[in-house]
């Protein structure tokens, strides 16, 4: 059967206009409290935001020309400002600067176009099948085979060709989709490369390789952290036979972009791109801590539901993120990583030993 590309499909009808939130998502029946707060902003708050944008523009320079110099001179100022949230109008540019993707783009002119136009991918049909499941309530991705879905297809297809060992996995669509809301196709592609190949922080590609090896490591680490930081909840999880794969896998695979409120996901991504994956652990622990007293009372079925549907007040960035920042995990994460590698290495060696014993 002849393989069809997304360019072979005609765009579907444009969805009927519906009220959108400030990020472009279709509004739910009841407005969330963060949106109401934003609408009621006073002139004083608006002026404060304008001053913040001016500070950021001065910090990064024209097109990011001053960024590296400023980070070297005042890293603590940069960290503090990023934790407070990058201004939305500058988010795309700053994400490229802090991830190292801008440098990758400049070093590889024409590569993205080559991957999109001239290469074929074994994952093309899988990508087309999954595209409509990525941010289906966002106006940019709603039209079937429309501009948003085509851009998403191009980025995912290009990456699946660029790194054939990883290819394409469904969770990657949420990374690419989030990036496309703030930058061009080519910029989004190189930011994915920077993340998965480790331009600044540890490579993420293990989240999507066969067997999801990095997911397994992260689940091992979060399991131990919950038992150590929240022992009562950890014991309750054991009694109810709850393991981290039941609630935390998507935290890591999509970096909270799958099911978290978008305004919170963006704030987490600001920090994630600058500080690395430790913020995912910190936010996860902060959420569990915030909801601790309710979670320890719930039986299995209700506990699973609660862990996948946190209350609205727990999702307020101005409450949750300061809690997350106060949790110190760097040293313990490193220790648990070595512990996991040691156990995993022993397991592999044991399997190899058993295999040799069985040989005639």
Tens digits of per-residue pLDDT, 48-58?
Answer: 889 999 999 99
Cα 342 from Cα 339, distance rounded (Å): 5
The pLDDT > 90 percentage for the chain reads 74
Predicted confidence at residue 275, as pLDDT, reads 96
pLDDT band at 6 (very low <50, low <70, confident <90, very high): low
Read off the DSSP letter of residue 58: H
pLDDT band at 37 (very low <50, low <70, confident <90, very high): very low
Cα 142 from Cα 353, distance rounded (Å): 53
User: Hey, is 69 helix, strand or coil?
Assistant: helix
**359: pLDDT strictly greater than 60:** no
Give the mean pLDDT of 231-250.
Answer: 96
Read off the DSSP letter of residue 4: P
Residues recorded for the chain:
360
Predicted confidence at residue 36, as pLDDT, reads 47
Cα 14 from Cα 27, distance rounded (Å): 17
Q: Write phi, then psi, for 128 (nearest 5 degrees).
A: -60, -40
Query: E strands within the chain?
Result: none
> 3-state DSSP: the chain helix, strand, coil percent, rounded to 5?
70, 0, 30
**350: pLDDT strictly greater than 50:** no
pLDDT band at 307 (very low <50, low <70, confident <90, very high): very high
The pLDDT > 70 percentage for the chain reads 88
Average model confidence (pLDDT) for the chain? 89
Comparing CA positions, the residue from 35, 40, 34 lying closest to residue 20 is 35
Predicted confidence at residue 4, as pLDDT, reads 54
Give the mean pLDDT of 83-87.
Answer: 96
Give the mean pLDDT of 56-66.
Answer: 91
Predicted confidence at residue 351, as pLDDT, reads 46
Predicted confidence at residue 358, as pLDDT, reads 45
Predicted confidence at residue 345, as pLDDT, reads 77
pTM of the model: 0.88
Cα 46 from Cα 198, distance rounded (Å): 37
Cα 347 from Cα 248, distance rounded (Å): 24
Give the mean pLDDT of 19-24.
Answer: 81
Residue that the structure tokens 């935290």 belong to: 251
Cα 337 from Cα 111, distance rounded (Å): 35
Token duo for residue 143: 């039209």
pLDDT band at 222 (very low <50, low <70, confident <90, very high): very high
Predicted confidence at residue 107, as pLDDT, reads 96
pLDDT band at 87 (very low <50, low <70, confident <90, very high): very high
Let me know the angle formed at the C-alpha of 138 by 137 and 139, rounded to the nearest 5 degrees: 115
Predicted confidence at residue 5, as pLDDT, reads 60
Question: 138 - beta bridge partners?
Answer: 25
Predicted confidence at residue 2, as pLDDT, reads 45
Contact 230, 292 (CB under 8 A): yes
pLDDT tens-digit map of 130-142: 999 998 888 888 8
């Amino acid at each position: 059967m002849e393989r069809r590309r997304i360019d072979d499909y005609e765009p579907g009808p444009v969805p009927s206009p519906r009220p959108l939130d400030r990020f472009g998502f279709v509004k739910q029946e009841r407005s969330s409290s963060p949106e109401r707060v934003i609408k009621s902003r006073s002139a004083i708050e608006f002026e404060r935001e304008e001053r913040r944008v001016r500070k950021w523009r001065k910090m990064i320079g024209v097109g990011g020309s001053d960024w590296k110099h400023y980070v070297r001179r005042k890293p603590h100022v940069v960290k503090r400002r990023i934790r407070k949230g990058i201004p939305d109008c500058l988010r795309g540019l700053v994400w490229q600067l802090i991830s190292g993707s801008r440098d990758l783009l400049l070093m590889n002119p024409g590569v993205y176009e080559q991957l999109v136009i001239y290469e074929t991918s074994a994952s093309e049909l899988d990508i087309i099948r999954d595209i409509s499941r990525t941010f289906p309530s966002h106006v940019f991705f709603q039209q079937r085979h429309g501009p948003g879905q085509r851009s998403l297809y191009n980025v995912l297809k290009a990456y699946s060709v660029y790194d054939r060992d990883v290819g394409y996995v469904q969770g990657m669509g949420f990374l690419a989709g989030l990036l496309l809301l703030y930058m061009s196709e080519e910029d989004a592609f190189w930011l994915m490369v920077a993340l998965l190949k480790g331009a600044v922080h540890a490579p993420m590609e293990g989240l999507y390789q066969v067997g999801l090896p990095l997911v397994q490591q992260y689940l091992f680490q979060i399991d131990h952290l919950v038992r150590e930081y929240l022992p009562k909840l950890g014991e309750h999880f054991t009694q109810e036979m709850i393991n981290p794969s039941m609630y935390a896998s998507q935290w890591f695979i999509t970096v909270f972009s799958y099911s978290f409120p978008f305004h919170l996901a963006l704030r987490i991504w600001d920090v994630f791109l600058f500080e690395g994956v430790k913020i995912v652990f910190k936010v996860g622990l902060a959420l569990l801590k915030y909801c601790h007293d309710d979670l320890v009372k719930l039986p299995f079925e209700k506990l699973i539901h609660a862990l996948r549907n946190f209350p609205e007040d727990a999702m307020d960035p101005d409450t949750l993120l300061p809690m997350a920042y106060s949790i110190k995990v760097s040293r313990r994460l490193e220790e648990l990583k070595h512990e996991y590698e040691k156990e995993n290495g022993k397991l592999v060696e044991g399997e190899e030993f058993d295999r040799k014993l069985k040989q005639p």
